[in-house]
Structures are given as C-alpha cells and as structure tokens.
Amino acid sequence: MSMYILSSDEISQLVTELQASYAVYGPQVEPQTRQVFFDLINDATALDLEAPIPSMPVKEILFPQMERILKYKYDAETQSVEMARQYFEQPKVLFGLRPCDLAGIQALDRFFLGQEFVDDVYLTHRRQCLLISNTCLHPFPQCFCVCTHSGPDADEGFDLDLTKLADGYLVKVGSEKGRALADAHNWTPAKPQQLSEQKAVVDKCIDLFPDMATDNKAWVSRVMNRITTGFIKSETWEYIGDQCLECGACSFVCPTCSCFNIEDAQTECGECERLRTRDSCSFEGYARMAGDHNPRQPVEDRRNKRFFCKLSYSQSKKYLRPGCVGCGRCQWVCPGDIGLPNVVQYIRREITGGEA
Amino acid sequence: MSNCHGNHEHGNCKTTGLCPIVTFPEVVNIDEIRDEIPEVKTFYLSFPNKDVEREFRIRSGQFIMCTVFGAGEFAVSLPPSPENDRFHISVRAVGKVTHALHALKPGDKLGVRGPFGNGFPFDEIKGKNIIYVAGGIGLIPLRSSIVHALQHREDFGRIILLYGARSSKDLMYQPDIKVWQENAGFETFITIDRAEEGWHGETGYVNQLIEKAKVPVDNSVAFVCGPPVMFNSVIGEFLKRGMSEDAIISTLERQMKCGIGKCQHCAVGRTLVCTDGPVYTYRQIKTLGEQI
C-alpha cells in the first residue's frame, strides 16, 4: 500500500481541486447548534476533519431519505403514457468519512450491488463516487466500533484514507481510483516511522474507549450466536418491545438500514413521480397488505426482526460483516433505552442470569 | 441468475446484468376486461413493443409488479400458462391501487415489471400425482400450473383439483372450470360452503373433499392456495394422511415494493418472498416463524 504525508494546506488544495469535477461532501459544524452534518462543501475552509461523527449517517448521500426514481405522465384521453427514469446523477466525493460510516457504505454496497439483483438507483450514485476516510483519534460519546470491527481506523473499502499525525496527514491509497489521484500529484512519500506513529495513534484511541464498549466486545459475538440460534426468551424481546415507541429513528440514523418504500405522487402539472423513501421495519404498517391482513402484529415481534437483521449470521453473510457498525447513533436517538449496545446488554443479562 | 429475458442488447442489461423491465416498467395495453366474480376482474394484456413481448417468458407461480399510472404499483400473481396462453392478470379490488385498476377501460395502459420469484416446480414433479387445492381466489395463482400441467398431461399421474368457494357466485374462472370438468384426464371436485338453489355439486369445506377424492399421498405433490384458515385445515388433513411436508407446496403473499429483494417489505423469517419465494414447501414455511 502506498503512503504519503500531506500538510493541512495540501488537504485543502485537494478539496478545492476535487470540487472542479465532483460534488464534494464532508463534515461541517453548524455554528449555531454545534451539530455536525456531512454535507455539500461550498467553501473548502468549512471542512472540519476534527469534527465528531455527524448526526446523520453518510448513507444520506447515496441512499437519500426521499428520492425520485421515475417520472411519468398519463393521458387518460389518448390512453398514452410518457415515462422516463430520472434521478440525481453527479460524481461525488465523500471527504473525511468516519470509519463506521465507511463500513456502513460497504455493507450497503454488498447488499444493493452484491445480491441476485443489482439496484440500479444505488449503483448510479455509487459508481461515480470517491471515498476518503478519516481515522478517529478518540472515541466520541456512545461509540463502540471496537466491538463491531469497524474502527477507529479503516482497513479496506476506501479510495484514500487519512490519519492526522503530529506533522500532517498520513494518506493511504486503497484503490485504483485513489492510486490515480496520488499519481496525479507530487505528494511526499511517508516514512516508515510515520506508519508506526499511525499505529500508535490508533492504539491510543482504542485505549480511550469506555470500559463498557471494550467489555462488550466478546459479548457482541455471543449475542449474535444467541440471536441466530433463536435462544432468546420471549420475555427479553417483550422487555425490549415495551420500550419501542415505533418512531423509526433507529432505522433512519443507522448506516446499514436499507429498507425503503415506493410511492407514486402526483405533481401539480398532471405528472407523476415515483418516489423511493426510507422505511422502518418498526412501523406497524410495514408488512400490512391491502385488505388489512398484517402478518407482523406485536411490536416485540417487529423489534426482534430489526435486531435479527443487525446481529445474525445469516444477515451478516449478506454484508460480510455484522449489520451493526458501532456508531452508536441509535443509542442517541432512541426515546426508549433500546439502542443496539443496550440490547446487547439486555441479552447479556439474560445469558448471565442478571449478573453482569 | 438475474431475471433477464434473454435479449441482453436492449438496455442496461450489459453493464449491470439487469434487464430494464426488472426496474423500469414496460407499457402494456389492456385489450379486454372480464368480470369474474364480485370484486374480481380479469385484465387481458398485450405488449405494444413486440420485441419485449417475445422475450417476456414466465414460469408458473411467478408474479409481476403492475403499475396503475397515477395510483401506484402492486404485486400480482400470474394466472396464464407459460405456453400458448393469453397474458392476463386477475385482481380483486381491495386497496387504493387495485380500485384504480378496476376503474380502467380497454385501451388504457399499465406498466409491468418482472416476472419475479422462483415459481412452482415443474420438471422435478414429473411422473407424480398432482393435487391442486384452492379456496376462493386462491385459484388465481394455481391456474398457471394447472393449465401447464394439462398441456403436458402425459408427464404426470393423476391430476386432481379440489376447489371451494363461499357460494357459486364466488367460483373463479367458470369457463375454464367447465372445460376442465369435461377433461377425462382431470379429476375436479368443486364445493361451495352452503347448499344453494340450482347447485348440484358438493357442499361443505375444501378439506372435506380430500376424503371424497380419495387423494393419493404417495408419489404425490399438493399445491395449496387459499385463505389462512383453509390452508391450515387442509395441511392438517394431508399430514394426518402421511403426506410428506416437502410435498405440500404453497405460495405466499406479502406487501411488496421492489420485487428484486431490496426493499425488504416481504421479509419472512430469513427469506424474502420476492426472490426466495413466493413458492415454499410446507417444511420451509414451518421454519419461517411467521403467520401465513
């Protein structure tokens, strides 16, 4: 793997340069609220590579909350139809992805592009996309990527990977696209001690994780085993289900949740748009069919479906990793107390008989 | 195994391994509309694009996603036989989109994506007896397989149909049934729930016909489709007679949005009805851990 060392100025130059041919997205801190958003960068100085993980996962750019996939116009008089595929196509750079979000994109890639069918809407977004990841120097509140093998540094899936060291950014090349970018520049090659320095930075970050996260590490795989084999008492699912308000927030902030709904909406000029909107398996109407037959009734049944999706071997086979990337966003947003790390705790408590 | 219809030249198939009709609806014309039973109509369709029509091949038991322009898209099973049959769908008006469909007239256009799903086994069951068990509009998805099997009559042992509906007005495909009843190679048993004036056939529920038809359980497969209550009683009866769980085959119905295994609305157990189904054996259904 080729490695270079870039100064902060060179990083800014790279951003400006990429803006000429790409829409460049990156972490920015909103001045009033101090919230972090991974958004389109208009001014290269707004990019903040030291910002905490963004509130919304970066999947928003590749798999938006709502997007038009088709447009048509039906004329009932002449019984004719005009129809066209229509979605937002633009080359994009995701600059400064946190490793958890990168792992989320890899999971979505394997799901949308690697199964029997290819999802052409996602493919359109993804194929012209450049991924530049950014190693975390310290964990943020709720982070537990050390348990799910998705941080604090990335080891695959990026085009370029950045790590902030004492004297600039260590840049690793991870793909052909990244290689081409490096070849087009006269970047300073990194020295071997800078690679050791990067390793030390990552080790230091791992040491800073709270005990609960590191302590849970082995438990995530034990819980996966339990969930896969189905040896979890229905009381535990009921306890979890009792806390679910069915708001769907966990699905919307999850970097790997990919369920969507499709709806045809009339526009003002007599045209129709087919919209694809994100959906959540926690909603009561998720599986309801016309005629009101709903095969999934109780909330705990729907809850365990979600955790099955995140933490079972059969789902992990689709993603080639656990469905959870340890970003902890579900824990932030859940109005109950059933973010994924807590669910692991509840199941752990069941296994140990309440000891831990 | 992508669901391509063979002609890889016409679209993004080459670059993505995807035939466009999988994700982009193909326009079809409504040639004729027939009233079947109350609330159910049959729509005979044809493709204005003859290239697509030639390449559009189905297997019994598959389904399509059908767009009613301005209303939305719904999943619907395919009743025509894969060979020498008019392309049609039979739909009950239950929700927003299907009501909009019922309001259309001949000459109106629909959008079609597909066909999707695994379909009923055909080659694997050659030489066996086939028992079709249907309740109400459960006959719609089975029709394809019935007509196909009759077109290859010599490949199978006994072919039996056990069909029940609430009343004589609720019997689907009555012209087909008349033809089938006159077919010496096809044993048909038809029942309605309660006796009616002018009805000379059986009365009672479908599961009672199993006894009457002296249904063979060895070297047989049963295709069962109908409301959950009928399904459970029929399965119970078959299992009591020693039929293998692998020989009982049904097709599941779920909310569907994409048809290509991405939207996840049809997830049942560890499978997706759109790509792993909709046809399952009873042994598989038992492990799914969900209602039928």
Enumerate the residues of chain B whose CB falls inside 8 A of the CB of residue A119: 23, 260, 262
For residue B48, the distance in angstroms to the closest alpha carbon of chain A comes to: 11
CA distances from A287 to A66, A111, A172, A216, A299 (A): 20, 20, 44, 33, 12
| Residue B19 binned pLDDT confidence (cut-offs 50, 70, 90) | low
- pLDDT for the residue numbered A212: 67
Q: Alpha-carbon distance B94 to B102, whole Å?
A: 10
Of B234, B251, B268, at which residue does a domain stop? B251
Enumerate the residues of chain A whose CB falls inside 8 A of the CB of residue B24: 70, 83, 85
- pLDDT for the residue numbered A26: 96
Residue A102 has pLDDT above 70, yes or no: yes
Q: Alpha-carbon distance A276 to A66, whole Å?
A: 6
What percent of chain A shows pLDDT beyond 90? 53
Residue predicted with more confidence, B21 or B101:
B101
Query: Using an 8 Å Cβ cutoff, are A233 and A227 in contact?
Result: no
Under an 8 A CB cutoff, do A260 and B263 touch? yes
- pLDDT for the residue numbered A269: 78
Tens digits of per-residue pLDDT, B148-157? 999 999 999 9
Of B65, B86, B116, at which residue does a domain stop? B116
State the sign of the Cα–Cα–Cα–Cα dihedral A201, A204, A206, A209: negative
- Which chain B residue has the Cα nearest residue A121? B23
Of A83, A123, A258, nearest to B16 by CB-CB distance is: A123
Say if B242 falls within a structural domain.
yes
ipTM: 0.86
- pLDDT for the residue numbered A300: 67
**Is residue B11 exposed (0-12), middle (13-18) or buried (19+ Cβ within 10 Å)?**
middle
Residues B167 and B151 both lie in one domain = yes
Closest CA to A341 of A145, A103, A205: A145
Residues B70 and B131 both lie in one domain = no
- pLDDT for the residue numbered B10: 39
Under an 8 A CB cutoff, do A76 and B108 touch? yes
For residue B68, the distance in angstroms to the closest alpha carbon of chain A comes to: 10
| Residue A131 binned pLDDT confidence (cut-offs 50, 70, 90) | very high
Say if B278 falls within a structural domain.
no
Instruction: Tell which of B254, B257, B260, B264 to mutate to test the A interface (max A CBs under 10 Å).
Output: B264
Of A279, A289, A314, nearest to B270 by CB-CB distance is: A314
Residue A85 has pLDDT above 70, yes or no: yes
Tens digits of per-residue pLDDT, A19-76? 999 999 999 999 999 999 999 999 888 999 999 999 999 999 999 999 999 999 999 8
Is the N-terminal amide bond of B115 cis, ω within 30° of 0?
yes
Phi/psi at A72 (nearest 5 deg)?
Answer: -150, 160
- pLDDT for the residue numbered A191: 92
Cα B2–chain centre separation: 21
Strand (E) or helix (H) holding A109: helix A99-113
Residues B112 and B132 both lie in one domain = no
Say if B62 falls within a structural domain.
yes
Q: Alpha-carbon distance A302 to B292, whole Å?
A: 16
Residues B49 and B78 both lie in one domain = yes
Poorest-pLDDT segment among A245-254, A267-276, B174-183: A267-276
Residues B130 and B234 both lie in one domain = yes
Query: How many domains does one find in chain B?
Result: 2
Q: Alpha-carbon distance A23 to A26, whole Å?
A: 10
The pair of structure tokens assigned to B26 is 């193909």
Under an 8 A CB cutoff, do A258 and B264 touch? yes
Residue B182 has pLDDT above 50, yes or no: yes
Domain of B180, CATH number, reads 3.40.50.80
A contact residues 75-114, partner B, Cβ 8 Å cutoff: 76, 79-81, 83, 85, 111-112
Enumerate the residues of chain A whose CB falls inside 8 A of the CB of residue B273: none
| Residue A189 binned pLDDT confidence (cut-offs 50, 70, 90) | very high
- pLDDT for the residue numbered A345: 85
Instruction: Tell which of A126, A289, A300, A305 to mutate to test the B interface (max B CBs under 10 Å).
Output: A289
Enumerate the residues of chain A whose CB falls inside 8 A of the CB of residue B1: 116
Residues B183 and B109 both lie in one domain = no
Of B23, B69, B94, nearest to A72 by CB-CB distance is: B69
For residue B114, the distance in angstroms to the closest alpha carbon of chain A comes to: 12
Residues B227 and B199 both lie in one domain = yes
Provide mean pLDDT across the span A264-278: 89
Q: Are strands B202-203 and B187-192 parallel, antiparallel or unpaired?
A: parallel
Q: Which residues pair with B42 in a beta bridge?
A: B34, B90
- pLDDT for the residue numbered B24: 87
Under an 8 A CB cutoff, do A117 and B3 touch? yes
The pair of structure tokens assigned to A205 is 């970050």
Enumerate the residues of chain A whose CB falls inside 8 A of the CB of residue B67: 264
Of B24, B95, B261, nearest to A115 by CB-CB distance is: B261
Under an 8 A CB cutoff, do B12 and A85 touch? no
Say if B282 falls within a structural domain.
no
| Residue A354 binned pLDDT confidence (cut-offs 50, 70, 90) | low
Provide mean pLDDT across the span A328-345: 90
- Which chain B residue has the Cα nearest residue A259? B263
- Which chain B residue has the Cα nearest residue A304? B269
Provide mean pLDDT across the span A177-193: 93
The model carries a pTM of: 0.89
- The answer to whether A288 faces chain B, any CB pair under 8 Å, is yes
Mean residue pLDDT of chain A comes to 89
Q: Domain segments of chain A: what residues?
A: 3-352
Of A80, A120, A291, nearest to B18 by CB-CB distance is: A120
- Which chain B residue has the Cα nearest residue A274? B72
| Residue B2 binned pLDDT confidence (cut-offs 50, 70, 90) | very low
- The answer to whether A277 faces chain B, any CB pair under 8 Å, is no
Phi/psi at B209 (nearest 5 deg)?
Answer: -75, -20
Of B116, B143, B167, at which residue does a domain stop? B116
Provide mean pLDDT across the span A90-119: 91
- The answer to whether A314 faces chain B, any CB pair under 8 Å, is yes
Residues B186 and B228 both lie in one domain = yes
Tokens 């970003």 correspond to what residue? A327
Enumerate the residues of chain B whose CB falls inside 8 A of the CB of residue A83: 24-25, 27, 111
Strand (E) or helix (H) holding A278: strand A271-278
- pLDDT for the residue numbered A169: 95
Contacts of A67 (CB under 8 A, 6+ apart): A87, A88, A121, A275, A276, A277
Residues B32 and B50 both lie in one domain = yes
For residue B16, the distance in angstroms to the closest alpha carbon of chain A comes to: 7
Domain that holds residue B135: 123-251
Residue B14 has pLDDT above 80, yes or no: no
For residue B4, the distance in angstroms to the closest alpha carbon of chain A comes to: 10
Strand (E) or helix (H) holding A178: helix A176-183
Residue B121 has pLDDT above 80, yes or no: yes
Of A80, A118, A119, nearest to B109 by CB-CB distance is: A80
Q: Alpha-carbon distance A109 to A115, whole Å?
A: 10
What percent of chain B shows pLDDT beyond 90? 68
Say if B75 falls within a structural domain.
yes
CA distances from A32 to A29, A35, A199, A327, A338 (A): 9, 8, 36, 24, 30
Poorest-pLDDT segment among A144-158, A200-214, A331-345, B216-230: A200-214
- pLDDT for the residue numbered B269: 82
Instruction: Tell which of B265, B274, B285 to mutate to test the A interface (max A CBs under 10 Å).
Output: B265
